[in-house]
Amino acid sequence: MRNLFQKRRSIRKYKKKELSDLKIKRILDAARWAPSAHNVQPWRFLIIKKSSIKSKLAKSMAKMWEKDLLSDGLNRGKRIELIKSSINRFTKSPVLILACLTMKDMNKYPDKRRREIEYIMAIQSVSTAIGNILLATELEELGACWSCAPLFCKDIVRKTLGLTKDIEPQALIILGYPDEKPEPPQRIMLEEILL
């Protein structure tokens, strides 16, 4: 079991090999077994396989990112390089899974403090489901990488994919058969994370 956690890597390059719907369903089934606040399960997932939709989404997110990179002071050449890399990553991945949250069934409170805490609990719940997706992907002998890009352009993602206002994009998980073997990531020692 320990090997599963140490073996998992963020994979950004994939073989041009189609994923079976069965594998994708098993991965998302693992997500639904994640723990969640109040057992509300505030996650929703959109599977994106169609090239034209992946391209439209990647390009619409890239427009927003270019504005952010410009305000960060990056020169034109560097902006173009980063944006091209991002678009390629999303469009060349066989499958994208858009992880979203909904507050529909979360507790409703009259005060701002508890509403904010409830929202954070929903985010934590979706994050736990994403963690399950990443581990299930490893068990399926596939590769995946978690991208938080949708957080920076939620309205653009909603509009591009025709999502309703109550569905909030949180992350894109790119998924496929690995075409790279990244080195193990550096991790700080266990003793360093204990308080």
CATH number at residue 127: 3.40.109.10
pLDDT the model gives residue 120: 98
What whole-number distance in Å separates Cα of residue 147 and Cα of residue 85? Answer: 13
Mean pLDDT of the chain: 95
Is 124 a domain residue? yes
pLDDT score at 70: 93
| Residue 4 maps to a domain | no
Report the share of the chain in percent with pLDDT over 90.
94
pTM equals: 0.94
Maximum CA extent, the chain = 51
53-63 pLDDT, tens digit each: 999 999 999 99
Residue 172 lies in a domain: yes
Supply the range of the domain harboring residue 151.
Answer: 9-47+95-179
- Beta-bridged to residue 147, according to DSSP, are 172
Q: How many distinct structural domains can be found in the chain?
A: 1
The sheet with strand 95-101 has its strands ordered as 43-48, 95-101, 168-176, 143-147
User: Region 11-40: what's the mean pLDDT?
Assistant: 96
Q: Is 86 contained in some domain? A: no
